[in-house]
Amino acid sequence: MKTVIQRVKYASVTIDGKVTAHIDQGLLILLGIATDDDRTAADWLARKAAALRIFDDENGVMNKDIQEINGQILVVSQFTLLASYKKGNRPSYIHAAGHETAIPLYEHFIAQLAALTGQPIVTGTFGADMKIELLNDGPVTICMDTKHKE
């Protein structure tokens, strides 16, 4: 699994001209699921995202997690995070999981994140053509890859 986690002042998803999801301060998590991903990867990623201390404390130091600021989380599926661009200029998505694998793992990741944070998770619509609007705060953007844990 690959993810791009952005600290935001707000974020929203629009589908067919209608806002279908919106959060205020919190995390926008773009999630890409690979063909060989499993629940173990989803669990690890959910734990890391829930505990990520990237919000400022009273001294302006990134020392607080999402729960400490009472923030919200928006998760959006994004298969293009699995793009292979080694050959040519047109990305290949051969490493991106198909719906039969990706949807259950996407839902499991969301459920784990909700359980860890004790709050409902706002989501995009899996497989939809979505327009994402956000105000990145900082900017703070963290990329995580379950196959290259750093």
Catalytic one of 79, 109, 117, 146: 79
Domain with 126, as residue range(s), is: 2-145
CATH at residue 106: 3.50.80.10
pLDDT category, 72, cuts 50, 70, 90? very high
Residue 107 lies in a domain: yes
Residue 127 falls within a domain, yes or no?
A: yes
Q: Is residue 27 part of a domain?
A: yes
Residue pair 65/18 in contact (Cβ under 8 Å)? The answer is no
Interatomic CA distance for residues 101 and 47, integer angstroms? 21
And the tokens for 148? 């290259």
pLDDT for the residue 79: 95
Is 78 a residue of the active site?
Answer: yes
Residue from 3, 6, 72, 78 carrying the catalytic annotation: 78
| Structural domains of the chain, count | 1
Write down the pLDDT at residue 139: 96
Answer whether residue 150 is part of any domain. Answer: no
Question: What pLDDT shows up at residue 88?
Answer: 85
* Residue 52 counted as domain residue: yes
Tens-digit pLDDT profile for residues 83-138:
998 888 999 999 999 999 999 999 999 999 999 999 999 999 999 999 999 999 99
